[in-house]
Amino acid sequence: MKSLLILVACVITLSLSAQKLKLDEKSIVKDSSGTVYPYAVWQALLMKGDYSIKAEDPKNGHTAFLLVHLSDAQKQARPERMEKPRESKFFTTGKEISLFNTRDIDNNKLNLKEAKGNIIVLNFWFINCGPCRKEIPDLNALVDSFQTNEKVVFVAVALDKKTDLQNFLEKMHFKYKIVDDGRFIADQYGIHLYPTHVIVDTEGKVYFHTSGLALNTVHWIKKSIQELLMKEEKTASVH
């Protein structure tokens, strides 16, 4: 079988200044005491969400950067202030898409083609995708926040085989409905960046979609679901 090259997109969204500044593994990143952090360390701190980063000299293209510890209030406000995650390359906002019928890992039917009228939240992922694993706890919390609303359906399409997934899920619970061996579904949409998230509205149209992991990805998934639910409530009240 011809192997498929899978590119994992891991995105850190940072607001540094209106001017584009280069921030990569060669950048000097330090704290207020002057301690310089290795690339892997400061990247992990940023992804955890406890720190922000700012340029020492925004006018200097070779500037060093400072890690800034965020207060609880700042951490809660940060996702909304950040730029909305980039749209994926695989879907078009507002366009109706063809959904699929399949079975989940427990052999339960998933009739998404017949789920019009519900909000469908899709996650495409695989076990060895680091960003995919990293966001699972936040995605579980997302599911919990809508657990009383049957109109919101969460489905995670995994590329992995059933036995591999079962072994993984014994160690890390994932509250989405899990579809195993879903490469053919990902291929249907041309997806080759992971994780990829898609939200389909009650009319079967794409409302939100993104690839990779940004600090505010899950925030925007939740916000998009809430917007759709509010829209449905307004429509129902008019009728």
Fold annotation for 101-238: Glutaredoxin (3.40.30)
Q: What is the DSSP letter of 147?
A: T
Residue 67, Ramachandran bin (φ over 0: left; ψ between -120 and 50: alpha; else beta): beta
Q: What is the per-residue pLDDT for 239?
A: 57
In this structure, of 75-84, 124-133, 143-152, the range with the lowest mean pLDDT score is: 75-84
Are the C-beta atoms of 211 and 136 separated by less than 8 Å? no
**SS percent in the chain: helix, strand, coil, step 5:** 30, 25, 45
Domain residue spans of the chain: 19-81, 101-238
Q: Among 35-49, 89-103, 202-216, which is the least confidently predicted range? A: 35-49
Tokens representing 109? Answer: 């039917």
pLDDT at 7: 46
- Give 204 or 41, the one with higher predicted confidence: 204
pLDDT reading at 220 higher than 50: yes
> pTM (2 decimals)?
0.74
Tens-digit pLDDT profile for residues 198-217 = 999 999 999 999 999 888 89
Q: Which tens digit of pLDDT belongs to each residue from 165-197? A: 999 999 999 999 999 999 999 999 999 999 999
Contact 221, 156 (CB under 8 A): no
Mean pLDDT of 103-115: 93
Q: At what angle do helices 217-238 and 72-81 cross, to 10 degrees?
A: 70
Cβ count near 176 (within 10 Å): 21
Query: By C-alpha distance, which of 131, 190, 134, 194 is closest to 159?
Result: 194
Residues 6+ apart with CB under 8 A from 221: 121, 142, 197, 199, 208
Task: Give just the sign of the alpha carbon dihedral 99, 145, 225, 239.
Answer: positive
Tell me if 69 sits within 8 A of 95, measured CB to CB.
Answer: no
**Section 45-74 average pLDDT:** 80
Higher pLDDT, 49 or 165: 165
Query: In this predicted structure, which of 42-56, 57-71, 217-231 has the lowest mean pLDDT?
Result: 42-56
Predicted confidence at residue 78, as pLDDT, reads 64
Q: How confident is the model at residue 149 (pLDDT cuts 50, 70, 90)?
A: very high
